[in-house]
Amino acid sequence: MAKILGIIGGGRRNGYTSFFLKESIQAAQTDGVETEIIYLPDYAFTPCISCFSCLRNPQHTCVRNDEFGKNGKGEIFQKVTEANAIIIADPVHLSGASAQTHMFFERCYPFLWSGLLNGMPIASISVASNKGMHINARRDICRWSYAFSMKYLMGVALHTAYGEEKNINAVRELGQIVSKAAKADARDGRISFTVEDCFKLYSSKPWNAFQYNLENLTDGLFTWEDSIIQKAKEHVKKPDALKLLASAEKALDIAVESYQKKQEEEAAKHLAEARTVWAEATLKEFLEDDIFKV
């Protein structure tokens, strides 16, 4: 039996967000699919405190004594672990996703190390009924899904001004798509993504992972000379980290050149490498000693 976890990120218990999620979940209920809806404000959990226990402990569980943690026995942790797909519905708060939803993704950090969410189907429903910015909220959720290499199927950014019928049709269609993906996840097992796969998956969605990573590594300038890798070279001291930086630099150099020549596949391959090695270098130089000291 495939399981779909519907998450209401916040907003009113019986407001627009919950209404649209229920419609979507109803459409997802086909043969062989079990669904559950949770309302995040019902759960006592707090933001991550960066203790990095989840990275250190071999089970990659969270040790916070709350409903996300409890060494893997926290209710939300368990529900996420058992799910084959997630539909997250979220009210737009201050022109982006809500704090509860952000906190949910933040507390999923243990899954980054276990890899459990890599390839897990997810779709989002962002709901605005005031000034809008729902597109931005959808982008937030897409970006967080990318952080865990989840299979972001689609997101709908709704405004109540679009009219109920149009919005219901959109969320019902989303529910049907998630239903199929959850069944495949249950039947075939989860297929995980490489960084390069993720660049492809997150290219035509409301937000582009390749551009985002290139912008980050080049410090917003899209040239390698001013990249954060170049800046780091002046401050990094550990020989192992410096060696990694040198290969990240080489990969970024090729990625930028290929990008300028519009050789997309080549650019993606080398940017994926630069991003991965850069992260390893910074972990080694700035975090590793403290994380494993405890």
Ligand X SMILES: Cc1cc2nc3c(=O)[nH]c(=O)nc-3n(C[C@H](O)[C@H](O)[C@H](O)COP(=O)(O)O)c2cc1C
Minimum CB separation of residue 138 from ligand X in Å reads 12
For position 168 contacting ligand X by CB under 6 A, the verdict is: no
Collapse the DSSP code of 153 into the 3-class scheme (helix H, G, I; strand E, B; otherwise coil) and give the result.
Answer: strand
For position 93 contacting ligand X by CB under 6 A, the verdict is: yes
Q: Which of 48, 62, 125, 133 binds ligand X (CB under 6 A)?
A: 133
If we measure between CA atoms, which residue out of 180, 140, 292 comes closest to residue 155? 140
Cβ neighbours for 185, distance < 8 A, ≥ 6 positions apart? 2, 84, 85, 119, 120, 121
Minimum CB separation of residue 226 from ligand X in Å reads 34
2-8 vs 85-91, strand pairing mode: parallel
Q: Which is nearer to ligand X, 19 or 193 (CB)?
A: 19
Question: Which 1-20 positions form the footprint of ligand X (CB under 6 A)?
Answer: 11-12, 15-17
DSSP code of residue 66: S
For position 275 contacting ligand X by CB under 6 A, the verdict is: no
Q: Which is nearer to ligand X, 90 or 273 (CB)?
A: 90
Which segment (76-84, 90-98, 190-198, 257-265) binds ligand X by CB under 6 A?
Answer: 90-98
Cβ neighbours for 266, distance < 8 A, ≥ 6 positions apart? 254, 255, 258
Question: Which 184-223 positions form the footprint of ligand X (CB under 6 A)?
Answer: none
How far is C-alpha 78 from the chain's CA centre?
18
If we measure between CA atoms, which residue out of 203, 155, 170, 2 comes closest to residue 84? 2
Q: Which is nearer to ligand X, 131 or 235 (CB)?
A: 131
For position 84 contacting ligand X by CB under 6 A, the verdict is: no
What is the per-residue binding string for ligand X in 219-258, x denoting contact by CB under 6 A?
----------------------------------------
For position 94 contacting ligand X by CB under 6 A, the verdict is: yes
Q: Which is nearer to ligand X, 72 or 132 (CB)?
A: 132
Whether the Cβ atoms of residue 252 and residue 273 lie closer than 8 Å to each other: no
Question: Which residue's structure tokens are 């937030």?
Answer: 140
Q: Which of 114, 129, 192, 211 binds ligand X (CB under 6 A)?
A: 129
> Which H or E run includes 151?
strand 151-159
Minimum CB separation of residue 3 from ligand X in Å reads 24
Minimum CB separation of residue 145 from ligand X in Å reads 20
For position 37 contacting ligand X by CB under 6 A, the verdict is: no
Q: Which is nearer to ligand X, 10 or 121 (CB)?
A: 10
Strand ordering across the sheet containing 121-128: 33-39, 2-8, 85-91, 121-128, 151-159
Q: 270, exposed or middle or buried, with CB in 10 Å at 0-12, 13-18, 19+?
A: buried
Per-residue CA distances from 178 to 190, 196, 219 (Å) = 14, 23, 36
For position 132 contacting ligand X by CB under 6 A, the verdict is: yes
Q: Which residue is nearest to ligand X (CB)?
A: 15
Binding site for ligand X (CB under 6 A): 11-12, 15-17, 91-95, 127-133
